[in-house]
Amino acid sequence: MAKLEILETPDARLKTVAKPVEIFDDELSRLVEDMIETMYEAQGIGLAATQVNVHKRLLVLDVSDNQDTPRVYINPEIIGSEGSETCEEGCLSVPGIYAEVSRAEKVRVAARDRDGNPFEEDLDGMHAVCLQHEIDHLNGKLFIDYLSPLKRRMVIKKLEKQRKIAGEKPAGTVF
């Protein structure tokens, strides 16, 4: 297994719209394992392929308390949603920045597992929030894109300042 490099904003490659996975082979399995390892090492609860510069519709997440239950979603599609919830989000591709984002409270997702078998699942809580955040990555969208232009500019300024002071990354949940 290998740890992959995570792209950080304003890298334009984060705006790429990912293409569906068509071949479920060993190479895909390796990518899934590498993404899971990369997510754990970066202490994130989710990671989309886009973030490691692979533009395929694939994401991994783990919202379990002990970070021992990795989940894999390939070609995920939200086929139903309900309610709305506001949650503070962070992102491995936007280090050190946290902001409140409103999303659907509950979602039903259709996806494939790493062997290509289709499945459907109902998600809520952090699991639903994280899945929506990661699917946004596959569509080239970041959580800071939901902020007002003014707020987004402030965030980007903060990010630039932070980069000059190495190591300054406030703690929070990143995905």
The contact set with Zn ion (CB under 5 A) reads 91
Cβ proximity to Zn ion, 43 vs 117, nearer residue: 43
Q: How far apart are CA 58 and CA 40, in angstroms?
A: 17
Minimum distance from residue 23 beta carbon to Zn ion (Å): 26
Q: How far apart are CA 131 and CA 77, in angstroms?
A: 10
Is 134 catalytic? The answer is yes
Q: Measured in Å, how far apart are the chain's first and last C-alpha atoms?
A: 21
Minimum distance from residue 75 beta carbon to Zn ion (Å): 19
Q: How far apart are CA 51 and CA 61, in angstroms?
A: 13
Cβ proximity to Zn ion, 70 vs 116, nearer residue: 70
Tokens read off for 117? 């078998």
| Residue with the shortest CB distance to Zn ion | 91
Cβ proximity to Zn ion, 91 vs 107, nearer residue: 91
Catalytic residue among 77, 82, 134, 160: 134
Residue 155 near residue 142 (C-beta atoms within 8 A): no
- Active-site residue list: 134
